[in-house]
Amino acid sequence: MSNEYIVEMKNITKTFPGVKALDNVSFHLKSGQVMALLGENGAGKSTLMKILSGVYTRDEGYLKIFGEEIKGNLTPKSAQELGVSIIHQELNMCAHLTVAENIFLGKEIHSKGLLKDKEMVKRSRAVLERLKIDINPKAIVGSLGVGQQQMVEIAKALESNAKVLIMDEPTSALTTKEIEDLFRIIREVKSRGCGIVYISHRLEELQHIVDYVTIMRDGKYIAEGEFKQLPMPKIISHMVGREITEQFPRVKTQRGKKIFSVKNLNAGRMVRNVSLEAYEGEILGIAGLMGAGRTETTRAIFGVDHKDSGEIIVQDEVVDISCPMDAIKHGIVLAPEDRKKDGLCTKLSVRENIALANLDELCNKSGVVNRKREKEIVEKAISNLKIKLPTSEVNAASLSGGNQQKVVVAKWLARNSKVVIFDEPTRGIDVAAKVEIYNIMNTLKQSGIAVIFVSSEMPEVLGVSDRIVVMCDGKVTGSLITEETNQEEILQLATKFENKID
């Protein structure tokens, strides 16, 4: 019965220059349903949802929302008025405004030309309380953590009376506790009859909230069904178009010399007396919960942030690193966590992004780029990582989230490095691409490079690393051999907070 549907999309097509992002896609959503929209990076999930929420216009296709056929084009505002709200893959709040100002952005309450701040704060407080979220409506959004900002986005959607709530990878930057809060809120919103579209690459979390699944591949609709009726290997093979046998491929190598160590590193509050060692031909995992100080540690090592004290030792030599260029000179590279902010120049092309990281090798003495060599490096990087793009001349910003992440990783691979640090390299990356990234780490390891791998996902830390250092609250709380440990032990160390006396 089609009239049960609150959203009906049929034969939706959307083309970007050089890419058919959506090819005849159908999608249906019912009231009170949590729908997982799944597919590899670049499958077209975000594009489809941007069409539903009026961000993009469709080239062709039929769209019905709450039984009303939408003949023309939606705009973000008209979609919102119809009850469709989207929380984008990359958060986009106004960091300098307050929570209440963000919640009412574009629909401010006013009378006689004056904003009714008190009223907006009051209503924001009410919606936050309803969601049992402890955030001050007068707080500046930029001062909140990513998880809290996410909650504000949800509050914003609900305040505008959303009946279709789209969440595009909401958990990719949340802590375990925040994810629990999010799931509680999703259940609450669902019980009020809201339909929810949930996009995520963290397949293990779907079981907690999802009712129904729609799967896309290469811009096409592939399959749908009740979540409980679809075994995970089936979902994965629909997404990828083939079976994935080994989720965590492992290669055995002989551990070589110690080539890198950090001694008693201190940098601000989040890096306290951190020591660690990395060996040739080994993957060192750094585990911990979100906010454990791992990213800060990698940033201090790489010379992005100032170090208060401590030593960095490369091949038995204490090196002085006060900026990333120093680190790169000593053979240390970092693929950072926040690709949009730190990892990519989104306004430059993919070619330029990859070339930038390799300019020293590409330029002759007078600074002229060797185009032939550039082409080789860029093409190799793109094919090694199977980056999906029409040409390497497209802006990095136009790639799907996961493909952007691949560019961040790819640009360093051409270099002759001794230590490669990956900070959450698989965040937002689909199952097949994750395996590709693990394979890259394995290849680096086999070639004698020390790989350092920061990850919050326990199965992947255990599946990929040879040794694991666990951090909590800015300190190293344990150092383990992967074969001799398990998830429980890591979790215990990851939550080993000191009793703080404030």
Ligand X SMILES: Nc1ncnc2c1ncn2[C@@H]1O[C@H](COP(=O)(O)OP(=O)(O)OP(=O)(O)O)[C@@H](O)[C@H]1O
Identified binder of ligand X from the candidate list 7, 9, 46, 80, rule CB under 6 A: 46
Nearer to Mg ion, 303 or 401 (CB): 401
Identified binder of ligand X from the candidate list 6, 9, 38, 39, rule CB under 6 A: 39
To the nearest whole angstrom, how small is the minimum distance from the Cβ of residue 200 to ligand X?
9
Which of 15-23, 46-54, 67-75, 129-137 is the region at the interface with Mg ion (rule: CB under 5 A)?
46-54
Fill in the amino acid letter for 488: E
| CA-to-CA dists, residue 201 to 41, 227, 484, angstroms | 9, 15, 29
How far, in Å, CA of 224 to CA of 212, rounded?
Answer: 7
Parallel, antiparallel, or unpaired for β 419-423 and 332-335?
parallel
User: Among Mg ion, ligand X, none, what binds residue 426 when CB lies within 5 to 8 Å by partner kind?
Assistant: none
DSSP summary character for residue 341: I
To the nearest whole angstrom, how small is the minimum distance from the Cβ of residue 441 to ligand X?
20
Parallel, antiparallel, or unpaired for β 317-319 and 475-481?
unpaired
Subset of residues 369 to 388 that bind ligand X, contact rule: CB under 6 A: 388
In sequence order, the β-bridge partners of residue 10 are: 62
Report CA 400 to chain centroid distance, whole Å. 11
Q: Which alpha helices (H) appear in 303-428, and where do they start and end?
A: 324-329, 350-356, 359-362, 371-384, 401-413
Termini Cα distance of the chain: 60
To the nearest whole angstrom, how small is the minimum distance from the Cβ of residue 51 to Mg ion?
13
Identified binder of ligand X from the candidate list 34, 42, 166, 477, rule CB under 6 A: 42
Tokens encoding 141: 């959004």
To the nearest whole angstrom, how small is the minimum distance from the Cβ of residue 403 to ligand X?
6
Question: What's the 3-state SS for 19-76?
Answer: EEEEEEEEEEEECCCEEEEECCCCCCHHHHHHHHCCCCCCCEEEEEECCEECCCCCCH
To the nearest whole angstrom, how small is the minimum distance from the Cβ of residue 39 to Mg ion?
9
How far, in Å, CA of 210 to CA of 198, rounded?
Answer: 8
Identified binder of ligand X from the candidate list 43, 230, 270, 444, rule CB under 6 A: 43
| Crossing angle for the helix pair 232-240 and 431-446, to the nearest 10 degrees | 80
| CA-to-CA dists, residue 441 to 15, 82, 230, 252, angstroms | 34, 47, 31, 12
Mask: binding to Mg ion, 49-88, rule CB under 5 A, as x and -? ----------------------------------------
Parallel, antiparallel, or unpaired for β 212-217 and 271-279?
unpaired
To the nearest whole angstrom, how small is the minimum distance from the Cβ of residue 144 to Mg ion?
23
Which of 40-48, 214-222, 274-282, 386-394 is the region at the interface with Mg ion (rule: CB under 5 A)?
40-48
Using rule CB under 6 A, residue 409 touches ligand X? no
Four-point Cα dihedral 221, 225, 230, 235, nearest 10: 20
Subset of residues 428 to 467 that bind ligand X, contact rule: CB under 6 A: 430
Nearer to ligand X, 43 or 332 (CB): 43
Nearer to ligand X, 197 or 419 (CB): 197
Nearer to Mg ion, 64 or 88 (CB): 88
To the nearest whole angstrom, how small is the minimum distance from the Cβ of residue 405 to ligand X?
8
Identified binder of ligand X from the candidate list 148, 297, 298, 400, rule CB under 6 A: 400
To the nearest whole angstrom, how small is the minimum distance from the Cβ of residue 47 to Mg ion?
8
Q: Is 234 helix (H, G, I), strand (E, B) or coil?
A: helix
User: Among ligand X, Mg ion, none, what binds residue 286 when CB lies within 5 to 8 Å by partner kind?
Assistant: none
Using rule CB under 5 A, residue 46 touches Mg ion? yes
How many positions of this chain bind ligand X (CB under 6 A)? 20
Identified binder of ligand X from the candidate list 7, 19, 155, 271, rule CB under 6 A: 19
Residue 237: CB atoms within 10 Å: 16
Subset of residues 56 to 85 that bind ligand X, contact rule: CB under 6 A: none
Using rule CB under 6 A, residue 398 touches ligand X? yes
User: Among ligand X, Mg ion, none, what binds residue 399 when CB lies within 5 to 8 Å by partner kind?
Assistant: ligand X
User: Among Mg ion, ligand X, none, what binds residue 291 when CB lies within 5 to 8 Å by partner kind?
Assistant: none
Nearer to ligand X, 155 or 235 (CB): 235
Subset of residues 377 to 406 that bind Mg ion, contact rule: CB under 5 A: 401
Which of 44-52, 190-198, 285-293, 454-462 is the region at the interface with ligand X (rule: CB under 6 A)?
44-52
In sequence order, the β-bridge partners of residue 221 are: 216
65-94 burial, b at 16+ Cβ within 10 Å, e below that, comes to: beeeebeeebeeeebbebbbbbbbbbbebe
DSSP summary character for residue 355: H
User: Among Mg ion, ligand X, none, what binds residue 33 when CB lies within 5 to 8 Å by partner kind?
Assistant: none
**Which residues are near ligand X by CB under 6 A?**
16, 19, 21, 39, 41-47, 89, 388, 398-403, 430
Residues that bind Mg ion (CB under 5 A): 46, 89, 401
